[in-house]
Amino acid sequence: MGSSELKVASEQLRQTAIQWQGLSSGFTSTASPPGQPFQPTTTAIGAIDAVIGVGAAACMARTRATAAGVATAATGYTNQDASGANRLAAAAPPTVLA
């Protein structure tokens, strides 16, 4: 293989995308702050949790978008390989002169 050639393991890309999709679901948090809602510390913790939730949602969205892009790329590489193989199979074999 020459230095300008790219070899892609499409199935590994798909598996990576699936794994990222699964991991991105871990960014959500359902834990509520401990204590009574009228305590100042509970309010502060709730505010911090809200900010973390916004960051986690952004990270989750970005991870899912990246995973979708990787899955799309894997499909594109697979299609390109199939197209190239079909074109190569359709090409006439070279004529060898004896």
pLDDT tens-place string over residues 7-40: 778 888 889 888 988 888 777 766 665 666 667 7
Nearest of 71, 77, 91 to residue 13 by alpha carbon: 71
Interval 46-73 mean pLDDT: 90
Nearest in space to 50 (alpha carbons), one of 25, 24, 29, 64: 29
Residue bearing the bigger pLDDT, 98 or 71: 71
pTM of the model: 0.62
Look up residue 92 and give its two tokens. Answer: 């006439």
Mean pLDDT along residues 47-61? 89
Token digits for 75?
């499909």
As a three-state string, the secondary structure of 29-52 is CCCCCCCCCCCHHHHHHHHHHHHH
| pLDDT value at 65 more than 90 | yes
Q: Are residues 1 and 51 in contact, defined by beta-carbon separation less than 8 angstroms?
A: no
Q: What percent of the chain has pLDDT over 90?
A: 22
Predicted local confidence at residue 62, as pLDDT? 92
How many angstroms separate the CA atoms of 15 and 22, rounded? 11
Average pLDDT over residues 48-54: 88
Instruction: Looking at the chain, list the stretches that DSSP marks H as alpha helix, in order from N- to C-terminal side.
Output: 10-24, 40-90
The better pLDDT of the pair 25, 91 is held by: 91
